[in-house]
């Protein structure tokens, strides 16, 4: 019972942190949804521990807590892989912008020096 | 035919002026552009002082993104031939005519300056040659195209492949991958014998530890290319 209470407090703190980040605009609402989902799932697990035991039995895992670890591990794995993918996308965009900027600057300089010549 | 020499430069303050002046003095028929990959040294200042034609990247992209900027420039300006030439003085512009000859004659789409055809000049260390031979074998196996000097950074590319590389070019250690990408599209790739010099100043970008990463990354990229893009094109 005590553990579940501590967990509840933990979840509350976790949600508060997400809200704080949202307020400071350090995370986009779109990207925070996943983390709210996690908070929701944790809350369900905390309120209805029977569900977790059932899940562990269905998975064929003897120790309930191990089932929780497995699920959370895959959740984290998925998130971190999607971050790698997001970084790749950002890197590509950054590269394209950098290249375009260099080409534009070159054109601009050529234009300016031609104008200087005309004066 | 309009030909552009693209010179990627990262911290080449000690070499760049000599490299560009050797090119412009002896081979004025070639246009050139220096791509400065956000060097930390005086590369940019020297080039501006000398009035060189230079593209200045506002962040460091690495060799792949840097060279690709040159291809974008070549595409933009409608060049018929784009030539990659290192900014460290390893490549002798005296070979430019021989290198571009197969492209001018329409006999090849891409020409690669090769150290190993006539085995003259700077040949690189034994370990490196072994690595290059392995990559060469891997590319042969995967694409059916036989290139000896797969890591050579001295290469000439025609319009069609300028467009390809402007669109898609690997970020790091791109040379072998670029061969595979072109070979997959059926490019006619020709090797041209050249001699290379050992760099006079500065250090090569590839340290011993990095060469392990190099081999793994490049090998994986070549194999994955086949896996991702499907069936082998038979020549």
Three-state helix/strand/coil letters over B2-43: CEEEEEEECCCCCCHHHHHHHHHHHCCCCEEEEEECCCCCCH
Q: How far apart are CA A98 and CA A96, in angstroms?
A: 5
Write down the pLDDT at residue B179. 95
- What is the per-residue burial (b if ≥16 Cβ within 10 Å, else e) of A26-40? eeeeeebeebeebbe
Q: Is the pLDDT of residue B9 over 60?
A: yes
Count the residues in chain B: 235
Contact (CB<8Å) B35/A102? yes
Q: What is the ipTM of this complex?
A: 0.84
- For residue A12, the model assigns a pLDDT of 96
**Measured torsion, CA atoms of residues B31, B33, B34, B38, in degrees rounded to the nearest 10:** 180
Distance from the Cα of residue B72 to its chain's centroid: 15
pLDDT above 50 (res B235) = no
Highest mean pLDDT of the ranges A7-11, B129-133, B171-175: A7-11
Spatial contact of B235 and B144, defined as CB atoms under 8 Å apart: yes
**pLDDT at residue B50 above 80?**
yes
CB within 8 Å: A95 and B55: no
- The fraction of chain B above a pLDDT of 70, given in percent, is 94
pTM above 0.90, yes or no: no
pLDDT of residue B25: 95
Q: What is the mean pLDDT of residues B183-212?
A: 81
Question: Rg of chain B's alpha carbons, rounded to an integer?
Answer: 17
**What are the tens digits of pLDDT across the range A53-85?**
999 999 999 998 899 899 999 999 999 999 999
| pLDDT at A48 (0 to 100) | 92
CA distance A91 to B181: 21
B31-36: strand order across its sheet: B54-56, B31-36, B3-9, B81-84, B155-158, B110-114, B189-193
Give tens-digit pLDDT for B24-41.
999 999 999 999 999 999
> What is the model's pLDDT at position B106?
95
Return the higher-pLDDT residue of B233 and A6. Answer: A6
Q: Is pLDDT at B4 greater than 90 in this prediction?
A: yes
User: Which pLDDT band holds residue B118 (cuts at 50, 70, 90)?
Assistant: confident
What residues in A contact B69, CB-CB < 8 Å? 99, 102-103
Residue A49: C-alpha distances to residues A9, A44, A64, B130 (Å)? 16, 8, 10, 61
Dmax (CA) of chain A = 85
B163 in contact with chain A, both atoms CB, cutoff 8 A = no
Q: What is the pLDDT of residue B230?
A: 66
Tokens of B105: 């004659």
> At a CB cut-off of 8 Å and minimum separation 6, what does A29 contact?
A22
Check if the beta carbon of residue B26 is closer than 8 Å to that of residue B19. Answer: no
Average pLDDT of every residue of chain A: 92
Per-residue pLDDT, B7: 97
Contact A98 B76 (CB under 8 A): no
Residues on chain B touching A95 (C-beta within 8 angstroms): 61, 65, 68, 171
Burial class (CB in 10 A: 0-12, 13-18, 19+), A105: middle
pLDDT score, position B87: 92
Residue A80 to residue A100: CA distance in whole angstroms: 30
């Amino acid at each position: 019972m005590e553990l579940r209470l501590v967990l509840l407090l933990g979840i509350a703190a976790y949600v508060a942190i997400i809200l704080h980040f949202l307020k400071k605009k350090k995370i986009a609402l779109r990207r925070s949804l996943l983390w709210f989902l996690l908070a929701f799932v944790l809350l369900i697990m905390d309120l209805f521990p029977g569900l977790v035991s059932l899940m562990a039995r269905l998975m064929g895992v003897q120790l309930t807590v191990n089932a929780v670890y497995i699920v959370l591990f895959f959740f984290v794995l998925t998130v971190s892989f999607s971050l790698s993918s997001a970084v790749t996308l950002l890197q590509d965009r950054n590269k394209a912008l950098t290249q375009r900027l260099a080409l534009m600057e070159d054109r601009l300089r050529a234009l300016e020096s031609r104008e200087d010549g005309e004066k | 035919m309009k030909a552009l020499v693209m010179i990627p430069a990262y911290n080449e303050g000690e070499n760049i002026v000599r490299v560009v002046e050797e090119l412009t003095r002896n081979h004025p028929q070639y246009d050139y552009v220096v791509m400065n990959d956000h060097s930390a040294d005086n590369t940019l200042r020297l080039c501006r002082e000398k009035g060189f034609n230079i593209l200045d990247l506002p962040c460091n992209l690495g060799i792949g993104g840097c060279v690709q900027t040159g291809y974008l420039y070549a595409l933009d300006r409608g060049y018929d031939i784009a030539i990659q030439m290192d900014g460290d003085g390893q490549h002798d512009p005296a070979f430019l005519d021989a290198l571009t000859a197969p492209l001018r004659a329409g006999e090849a789409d891409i020409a690669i300056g090769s150290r190993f055809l006539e085995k003259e000049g700077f040949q690189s260390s034994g370990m490196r040659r072994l690595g290059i031979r392995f990559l060469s074998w891997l590319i042969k196996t995967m694409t059916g195209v036989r290139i000896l000097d797969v890591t050579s950074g001295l290469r000439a590319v025609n319009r069609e492949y300028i467009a390809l590389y402007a669109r898609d070019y690997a970020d790091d250690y791109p040379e072998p991958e670029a061969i595979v990408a072109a070979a997959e599209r059926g490019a006619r790739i020709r090797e041209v014998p050249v001699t290379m010099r050992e760099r006079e100043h500065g250090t090569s970008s590839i340290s011993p530890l990095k060469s392990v990463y190099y081999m793994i990354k490049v090998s994986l990229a070549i194999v994955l290319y086949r896996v991702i893009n499907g069936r082998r094109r038979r020549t």
